[in-house]
Amino acid sequence: MSEKFIRRSVYLPKETLEKLEKLAINKGLKTSEVIRMFIEKGLNIESSREDIDFIADIIRQELNSIYRLEDIKEILDKQTNRLAKMMMKIGKMSTGQLFLLISMFLEIVDSADEDKFDAILDKSMRNGVAYMQKKDFQVNDFLQDIDNLKNIANEL
């Protein structure tokens, strides 16, 4: 054995040693070579983790020195408030349109048909709630299914 190697006795579970021996046979290597290969890989992985942690700490420090957390929070708060105000405007417009539509239908519906109108309005509201409960990925398919939309409208 060469002087660059130092002998160490290592105790391994029987199953582990059997796996190492099979791998050595498959690769055409000695079992000791396979063991050294795995030790080297393990050491490389561990040193890579240490390097990654070290680099992540540097990046974190740099980001904190450039962007203060308070500044980021202030920007996010402004944008969140802006979006909330936009959603309120959309909600007010939609509600206004809803009541305008109901009012217009009430003007053209005979009083004898009010029960029918009430049923249509109830079904429409239920369909609206069902639509709002759909996930984002379901909305496009729902709106592009013309036959289904016609069936829903006919049921009203």
- pTM (whole model) above 0.75: no
Answer yes or no: is 155 within a domain. Answer: yes
More confident residue, 120 or 22: 22
- Residue range of the domain that includes 116: 109-156
Q: What is the pLDDT of residues 87-116, one digit of tens each?
A: 999 989 988 888 888 888 888 877 767 788
Answer yes or no: is 74 within a domain. Answer: no
Pick from 27, 35, 33, 38: nearest CA to 11: 35
Cα–Cα distance between 69 and 75 in angstroms, integer?
10
Q: What is the mean pLDDT of residues 53-69?
A: 81
Task: Kindly tell me if the per-residue pLDDT of 134 is higher than 80.
Answer: yes
Answer yes or no: is 35 within a domain. Answer: yes
